[in-house]
Structure 1
Amino acid sequence: MASQAPQHALPVLYEGLEPISKEKHGDLKIDNIDGPAIMSKVHAVPVTVEEFPMLQRHYPVVFSAGDNPVPLALMGLHEGVNAFVNDKGRLDDDFLYIPAYIRRYPFMLARLTKDAEDLSLCVDPTSGAIGDKGHPLFENDEPSEATKRVMQFCEQFEMGAQRTAMFMKELKELDLLMEGEVSIQPEGLEQPFVYRGFQMVDEKKFSELSGDKLRKMNQNGMLPVILAHLLSLAQIREIFQRQMKLGKGPKELTEMMEKANKAKADA
């Protein structure tokens, strides 16, 4: 635990970051928060490979564009739209699996400098999670049990992130990624909505892998992860429907539905 905030671009959700220290936070406490309000504007969050089986039941899991892709859980199909939370950042469905990235907030482990070897526990000071209510951060000048639990969860997340990086490295070496595209044809419109800007596993290349490669992927745990990813893509249409119900769908379709509803009301 150190005293200098990390100087680099902030990750998704975080609006600030400062290391937790006895000197600055010795008398403060950890309070539970429902979720950052900014969550309502976040349409995708990073996820780890261990989460794919749980995620695929609720969210599409895709890979970001570019040469260094990372797996993402899509919570919306448009920038600034989250189909699962309200304007205060609270989940509308109590039975959804919540990605570990969100559950980790407002804490995270970070290197305070580029050359630092160790990771320090940091918090987003804008979150409202640190104050005079809740569980103490420190007891008898040592991190409290509550702080240790937070630290343990953040460490588990970091280990998951390392395993995810290894998975992505092997996926690229196998040349299994392709540019993704999903077309959704709503009733009443001539042209479909086409979503791009992500990557996905190429099912054709995947089906043509040799038995030896598939056996190895099964042994190292890659196979069920890839299958969960492919199954999750069906959730894209579910999110589209969620957005439409919330009035956050494509402008053209939203306008068409508003006109139809007005015509019914006037009839």
Structure 2
Amino acid sequence: MANNVLLNNVAHQNLKVITRFGAEYGDSVSNALVFPTEFVELQKEYPILFKQNSDTKKYQAVALLGLSQGENLFLDPGLRTGWAANYIPAAIAKGPFLIGRQSQDSGKTNTPVVHIDLDHAKVGHDDGYPLFLEHGGNSPYLEHIASILKIIHEGVAIQDVMFKLFSELDLIEPVNIEIDLHNGEKHRLVGNYTINEEKLIALGGDQLEKLNKLGFLPLAYAVITSMTNIRKLTEIKKSKK
């Protein structure tokens, strides 16, 4: 169970966080939640898929990391970081940190602040990188975490608007992924959605202008382009056999 607390440089002056990724830290996941603010980087490494909440009918984007439950093909204990890709999804890269809200001005405003899960496997006092400098101030590592949390915070703020417009333009379609590893092992991934490229190309000028003005047109193409990474996942899976 998480033990989330507001991070501060007095109570947590000597706290350290391990920056490696591995199964022992809970990173063995077959997909990770991702956000529009990182689509351009993600599409270079992972397939970006959409999933729909059966209750709310809202969409959420995920990066596909493996072909089986609990399989993360990008984990590599032989590497310094433990992760075999140039970009790591923000929801995983943030480690034990998360965004909280702090009430200010007698409750009139809520400011985003950094929280940390003190019971996370990466958190301790012996191993890892310090969060604060010896004589005060944030460490470079904590500044890096702040930039990752900003990606998530800004992505959450725009994702509902993006998916609403994608839906209004009828761009979202279901996609079934079937993978044959040529050794008798087959994988079929269902319940996912993507962008229909033909419908995107067929949009009128006003519709394309609206997508582009809001910054969503390149994100739609990033999703389409990312699907070529399914072949990359297949090759990684074969190499591990």
Shorter-chain TM range is 0.7 to 0.9
Taking the aligned partners of 1:48 and 1:228, their CA distance within structure 2 comes to 12
> Which of 199, 203, 225 pairs up with 2:193?
199
Cα deviation for residue 232 of structure 1 reads 0.8
Q: 1:192 to 1:203 in 2, by over 3 A?
A: farther
Which of these two proteins has the greater Rg computed from alpha carbons? 1
SS at 1:59 equivalent: coil
Instruction: Give the structure 1 partner of residue 167 of structure 2.
Output: 172
**Offset from partner CA, 1:21-76 (integer Å, 9 cap, x none):** 55982443334421253444201111222322221121101111331111111111
1:54-73 aligned within 5 A = 54-66=41-53, 67-73=57-63
Percent identity among equivalent residues?
22
Instruction: Give the structure 1 partner of residue 237 of structure 2.
Output: 243
> Which one has the bigger helix percentage?
1
Instruction: Give the structure 2 partner of residue 19 of structure 1.
Output: 5
Taking the aligned partners of 1:192 and 1:109, their CA distance within structure 2 comes to 39
Taking the aligned partners of 2:112 and 2:39, their CA distance within structure 1 comes to 26
Taking the aligned partners of 1:85 and 1:192, their CA distance within structure 2 comes to 21
- Are 1:33 and 2:19 matched, yes or no? yes
Taking the aligned partners of 1:162 and 1:84, their CA distance within structure 2 comes to 28
> Which of 212, 217, 220 pairs up with 2:214?
220
**TM-score normalised to structure 1 length:** 0.71
- Are 1:144 and 2:106 matched, yes or no? no
- Are 1:83 and 2:73 matched, yes or no? yes
SS at 1:196 equivalent: strand
Q: 1:182 to 1:139 in 2, by over 3 A?
A: same
Q: 1:102 to 1:88 in 2, by over 3 A?
A: farther
Instruction: Give the structure 2 partner of residue 258 of structure 1.
Output: none
**Offset from partner CA, 1:226-262 (integer Å, 9 cap, x none):** 1111111111122122123223xxxxxxxxxxxxxxx
Taking the aligned partners of 1:50 and 1:83, their CA distance within structure 2 comes to 23
**TM-score normalised to structure 2 length:** 0.77
Instruction: Give the structure 2 partner of residue 47 of structure 1.
Output: 34
Cα deviation for residue 139 of structure 1 reads 7.1
SS at 1:181 equivalent: strand
Please tell me the root mean square deviation across aligned C-alpha atoms, in Å.
3.3
User: Which deviates more from structure 2 when the two are superposed, residues 150-159 or residues 177-186?
Assistant: 150-159
Cα deviation for residue 118 of structure 1 reads 4.1
Taking the aligned partners of 1:136 and 1:40, their CA distance within structure 2 comes to 21
Q: 1:182 to 1:153 in 2, by over 3 A?
A: closer
> Which of 93, 105, 120 pairs up with 2:95?
105
SS at 1:197 equivalent: strand
Taking the aligned partners of 2:203 and 2:117, their CA distance within structure 1 comes to 45
User: Which deviates more from structure 2 when the two are superposed, residues 216-225 or residues 20-29?
Assistant: 20-29
In the alignment, residue 179 of structure 2 is paired with which amino acid? I
Do the aligned residues in 1 keep the contact of 2:97 with 2:117 (CA within 8 Å)? Answer: yes
In the alignment, residue 110 of structure 1 is paired with which amino acid? G
Do the aligned residues in 2 keep the contact of 1:60 with 1:74 (CA within 8 Å)? Answer: yes
Q: 1:64 to 1:230 in 2, by over 3 A?
A: same
